[in-house]
Structure 1
């Protein structure tokens, strides 16, 4: 196999960061429909959307795509080639194909069917941040098909730069690249971390795992630890997640939201076992503090506390993509087994009917202009904002770039 280069047939650099974004006269929120253009935190007026845009991360489709894809992901961060090669090994283990592409394609089809079944026959397009089809491709295709009022859904449930604001920046990048800012209006559904549709599959998976361990003779209250795992991010970015006005403490909205969902799941199950919020997949240099504890470090401490089994709940992930398969099914499970622990990794929402129905509900609440009091949520933090507040989820290193679905900056 020849070494991958940026000349690989499928490669195209992702769009440059936007230098500006179109804002209609009198609008506070750039690129927005009239339902939220004035900057109100929640959209409580009906909106006539004519398409839905699913925002994905993207991934390589073959061995020659792996390094170009990783260069897209890390562009501007000064990541050395040897580090890219280390991460490339994860993808090469699976033939150079990221599972996220097929997963998002299946989710797109499922959401489109669900919307049609509810009497909302909207086309659902998929646009990626780091690989074709890019967000700009999807935006251009929707415009060419005559669509003008688009509602976006990010395939990420929580508030942080990479999981929310960067998707909003992707939308601004796409409008600048295509020149469609004066033509299209694009809003985005709220972060859905505590929507019952997202939480239900995670809760069901944990309930099933605990039942399985009970049947094997283990006592969850004394012999099992539940680890709710999510992607680690730099401490500095976590501190900036969510609007500063909320004062959510160390870790900002990112940690607060994950912890609130974990608490809700355990409470709904009757607090059956001890648990922790843990982190995985850090990629920064050791000199930069990232959220901890790492899932493997947490597992290593369990035998000394009398634990005989661990249940790993992928709380921060919507599908079984590379970081779930490699970091949890591979490294974390191996760590547990070396220590003599029984390890169960529960399922991500994927295309679970409850999750698909939940995403359709998020579309419906925006079409209807549903009152905040009537919106589904399982924690006191929700329902989260439809329109991100000024400076929300800034990047500690890059600051804030032009973004849709929020008040500038």
Structure 2
């Protein structure tokens, strides 16, 4: 089965053509480090979403979120913005202070608090405003050689699809690649991703790479997406929750090697302890171990772990507790078939909340009132 060649994104070679999607509260430096340790150091691992206003205002939490590992290259940062002026200031700050090597732009967030202000997945409907924001970022980043890529969804809903226009506009404004999460904002994370939309975007965008995102829960899913859509690479989000070793499997699949079997529970216990240590380094023991709690069910999914022990994992407070609890696991338990498949938030489709009159004029370039977000991470 054919696999995509290495990607070129500005000065960077992304090989294999695999990208860790930015995920709020997940893709901090600790989790990115784990994924890089399993995958290729030359794939792309994107920091969780940073808002332009929070960056420009130097929000302390945001400044800590853009921590990168000493060997992390390229340092990939995702920006959310709705105002070309603030976007320009944020990108100039990144350039002047050498905060990142690559900028990805978020136009895919379906969260109601974002779309009701015209941001995220709602924004590409306003074609002129979308072009202004992307163009400003590209022009500001260009003197420093920082490539800009753009991620978006199919559209607001089935009646308001924007992805073809968004891809062509991003291409015209100088983006180095585009990525399509093949769902509408109305779908959120429910149902099946429509991979045919990725194929359509690939046909419409001729001069830059097109990446596919949505429903990649195994290495075989990634190979299938490439074969069915012709996309130039894949973006992996929820499929790697509690499974950073998925990047080892993707590396094997994309380099023509046999896909390794999943780890037994003893190896998963080692990964848990490693993840805990990395989080404590980044956030301190109290916050770091509390942050690990949300990962526990993902790591232990499908394994023979009793409900009482699972509950104790979910309430863990210290590194010593993590170590002690992992010793209670059956380290010889093999990787279960039940660990595969969809994971993470799915929810139900819902009507997208938009600003009043948002759909009246797609050429209106006015910045939506109050859409700038103070806090990063989604």
Provide TM-score, normalisation by structure 2.
Answer: 0.27
Q: Comparing both chains, which one has the higher relative contact order based on Cα–Cα distances under 8 Å and sequence gaps of 6 or more?
A: 1
Provide TM-score, normalisation by structure 1.
Answer: 0.26
